[in-house]
């Protein structure tokens, strides 16, 4: 883990084909409280599914999916939940 930006190493779940979203949520939910961003290595070609799965709400927001040579990387940032707007709809 890097102390400078408090970002852990990339988590590799590119081999997972079934139950991917719950596994990713478990990794995100198990992150240390001082970690502000996470990157998860995923298999290629599932961008639409991930954008739909990690839509609005929750403690983590999917910000981008970077394309690499043999895999993609889903980038998440931790967001502060608002009691007035728990689904984050006011941002749209």
List the CATH number of the domain containing 34: 3.30.110
Query: Residue 2: which pLDDT band, with cuts at 50, 70 and 90?
Result: very low
Find where tokens 């967001």 sit.
79
Range in 51-55, 69-73, 81-85 the model is least confident about: 81-85
- Domain count of the chain? 1
Residue 89 counted as domain residue: no
Compute the chain's Rg from CA coordinates.
13
pLDDT per position as a tens digit, 20-53: 999 999 999 898 888 999 999 999 989 999 998 8
Residue 88 counted as domain residue: no
Residue 71 counted as domain residue: yes
């Amino acid at each position: 883990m890097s102390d400078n930006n408090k970002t852990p190493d990339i988590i590799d779940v590119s081999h997972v084909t079934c139950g991917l979203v719950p596994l990713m949520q478990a990794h995100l939910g198990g992150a240390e409280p001082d970690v502000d961003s996470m990157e998860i290595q995923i298999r290629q070609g599932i961008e639409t599914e991930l954008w739909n799965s990690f839509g609005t709400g929750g403690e983590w927001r999917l910000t981008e999916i970077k394309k690499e040579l043999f895999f993609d990387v889903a980038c998440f940032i931790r967001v502060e939940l608002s009691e007035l707007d728990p689904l984050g709809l006011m941002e749209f």
